[in-house]
Amino acid sequence: MKNNPNLYALIVGIDDYQRPVSKLKGCVPDAQAIKKYLEEKEKDNFTLKIKTRFNQEATRTNVINDFQTHLAAATENDVILFFYAGHGAQEKADPSVWLSEPDQKLEGLVLYDSVPADFKNCKLLADKELRYLLNYVANKNEKGEKKKNPHIVVVTDCCHSGENTRGGEFDGEMLHRHYEPATTRGDGSLPARAWDDFLFAKVIDPKKLATQPINDIIPPARHVAMAACQSNELASEKGGHGVFTTHLIEILERSQGLVSYRDLQSRVKNYLKNQFPQVPQIYASTDSTDLYRLFLGKKGVSKPVSATVQCNEKDGWMMDMGAIHGISNQAKGVKVTSADGKISLDAAISKIETDHTFLTIADDSKLDKRGQYRGIIEGFLSAPIAVFIDNLDGNKEKETDLRDLIVSQGKNLNVVAKEDIADYAIRIFDGKYVITNRVDTDQKAKFKPIVLPSNDVALAFDDLNHISQYEFVKNLENTGSNKMSLDKVSIAFLEKGKTTPATIQNVKGKEIVELPYQGKDTEGIPTGSIQITVTSNDDKPLYVALLYLSPTFGIMTNMMSNNVQLLEKKGDKALAWDGEDITLTFETQTGVFNLPSSDTTMKLIISRQPFDVSMFQLDDLPSPMPLFETERGEGGTRGLQRVSTNTEAADAWATRTLLLRNPNPFYDKDYKNKPKNFDKWLNTEGSEFLKKLY
């Protein structure tokens, strides 16, 4: 008998609200459809343990209890699914407590009894309470005992689900799954509740929330969240069902559930684009690689390496990447292929927008217009890099293997004859390939191996391609006519203990923020911390993302809430990592190589249109030798010119590159010809390599 994991599902649907909350018509059918899908299509993959709460059963007490008993029974290898269809709403947030809510509102789910007829003691299931419950089921069993994390999925088809709204269409009647009390006169939110009315009131001190980041008080559980729309949109209904849930289930059925979260969201988004005024959202709370797992955490999928191509009923064939992902009219075309490789057609690019591209396929009769295909572009999501091959062994076979592979398959890799014109060097030593930065004759003190040595030419080639993708993101900018003025937002880096943000200097086209270490830890190692805030300076809605480009060629995309955060009006703020302190780390290698500073790159992206940064996510490459484990790259990219304009395209966007520089307090400028502590290298496994190079 197959040993299947358990799937603990809590499915909530509410149509029959009581006054003063307006009734809905499609939420219970949506919930029933999700239950039916699980029972018919996932029964062979899981042992199903499904709990439903429809209409009057979906009280606040029942739902909270179901989290703490039914869902909390899941163990490490199990899966938790929480599905909700109903009203969403907002309530006022006490600004002295909820520092992470700059708009002074909490979003929440409107349960059956959340809003009494007299408006007294209103109790949504607030987003912070849902966060608390997810943390509970991730770390506690039904007895309150500690346990390991199950795989958790949250799907919400309501308004304020990307902060939750639902509009509907029935016989000419427009319904909203967004509750806005008529008595509030303009604000649209329910009154603030007393602290004692929050479900965590007895275990969390509000004074701590007023002074510490929310992640320290209510840590986010690792989970994947899918939402029907963004915070400023309606989630539509058609034919008695939510269009988000309808298409979600259709795609799951057509793919037999073998689809990643990112592809699932992309396909739903493309189906709805230009037909309904909503953009489905997806978010991995703590680990962006979760987006590339199969739905419900099933095994067998890896990160996609191409775009998704499918047919939109209104606009025809389209690809889910656009200008913000580096697609330009210089691209010769797109190869559209089926998953099994049996279909391969050429497509021409007809129109490029911010986050998607329209395609023209001359003969699409072989394609299923309800199907999904891959779009492949040469050099996709990669930047050209020049590579110098340094054969320290004199091993001609190794060099020939590498050179042939780069020439035949390296779409954006070019071998150059001189190191001083290269971007990176790959050195053959002791039968292994070692990737390093370029070493100029007078800059050997700055030499740093950057990738773990490998005797496999294919792995070395993959690492070069990885670096090419990293360089693409680092150098990404909008050079088109729809380039947005960068003064639409402000970014501030606040050092711990200071009240004035650090100065952002323009040095030879680079924006540099110098952040000195603020002290030393118990072992005498320099340390410090900062907070990062992005603030809107514009009256119109803006979307912002902040990417962290690591020293070991990783890219972290989840610094902002939901990866990309909406700033609806002037003064709205986005707090990196929910306002957490971000540690300034002193790398051992900064001292070993006597570097003047440790430099880190951050990429700010702003846009008028929603966009997706999940495909920019890159894992870190392996560290090289033990001595160099904490090596930090030099960073730095092309400076961006500010553009002032009186008119702005609806799809305007721009990027801003910032170099965070931590000066080395131990730097000795008298060491010029070789790194400080050079003699210590003789005791490392890399000593022979380093002596050979020098």
The pLDDT-based confidence of 286 (bands split at 50, 70, 90) is: confident
Query: What pLDDT, on a 0 to 100 scale, did the predictor assign at position 69?
Result: 94
Instruction: Inform me whether the pLDDT recorded for 666 exceeds 90.
Output: no
- How far from chain centre, in Å, is Cα 271? 22
Q: Is the pLDDT of residue 205 over 70?
A: yes
Residue-by-residue DSSP string for 381-419: T---EEEEEEESS--HHHHHHHHHHHHHH-TTEEEES-G
What's the confidence (pLDDT) of residue 166? Answer: 33
Q: Burial of 327 by CB count in 10 Å (0-12 exposed, 13-18 middle, 19+ buried)?
A: buried
Phi, psi of 153 (to 5 degrees): -130, 135
Would the pLDDT of 637 be above 50? no
Query: What element of type H or E holds 462?
Result: helix 457-474
Residues 25-39: tens digit of each pLDDT:
889 999 999 999 999
Contacting residues for 186 by C-beta, under 8 A, at least 6 apart: none
| Three-state helix/strand/coil letters over 86-155 | CCEEEEECCCCCCCCCCCCEEEEECCCCCCCCCCCCCCCEEHHHHHHHHHHHHHECCCCCECCCCEEEEE
The token duo for 237 is 């209904």
> What pLDDT, on the 0 to 100 scale, is given for residue 168?
32
Q: Could you report the per-residue pLDDT of 101-140, keeping only the tens digit for each? A: 655 677 889 999 988 887 778 888 988 899 999 999 998 7
Work out the pLDDT band at 209, boundaries 50, 70, 90. Answer: confident
The tokens for 289 are 């690689």
Average pLDDT over all residues of the chain: 80
Q: Is there a contact between 9 and 78 (Cβ–Cβ < 8 Å)?
A: no
What confidence score (pLDDT) does residue 635 get?
26
Distance from C-alpha of 358 to C-alpha of 369, rounded to nearest angstrom: 14
Hunting for tokens 């962290």 — which residue is that? 548
pLDDT-derived band at 623, boundaries 50, 70, 90: low
pLDDT at position 176 over 50: no
The alpha-helical segments, DSSP class H, found in 294-358 are none
pTM above 0.85, yes or no: no
Q: Please give the Cα distance from 552 to 555 (Å, whole number).
A: 9
Residue 670's pLDDT is what?
A: 67
- State the pLDDT at residue 181: 56
**Helices 457-474 and 396-409 sit at what angle, rounded to 10 degrees?**
50
pLDDT tens digits, residue range 49-96? Answer: 999 999 999 999 999 999 999 999 999 889 999 999 998 887 777 765
* Cβ partners under 8 Å of residue 690, min gap 6: 681, 684
* The pLDDT value given to residue 595: 73
Q: How far apart are CA 478 and CA 645, in angstroms?
A: 15
Q: Which residue has the higher pLDDT, 140 or 605?
A: 605
Q: Is the predicted pLDDT of residue 678 greater than 60, yes or no? A: no
Q: Is the model's pLDDT at 303 over the cut of 80?
A: no
Which value, in Å, is the radius of gyration of the alpha carbons in the chain?
Answer: 27
- Region 347-367 average pLDDT: 90
Q: Which of 389, 374, 305 is nearest to 344 (CA)?
A: 374
Pairing status of strand 424-429 against strand 385-391: parallel
Mean pLDDT, residues 549-576: 88
How far apart CA 664 and CA 653 sit, in angstroms, is 36
pLDDT digits (tens, 9 = 90+) for 377-422: 866 678 889 999 999 888 899 999 999 999 888 878 999 999 889 9
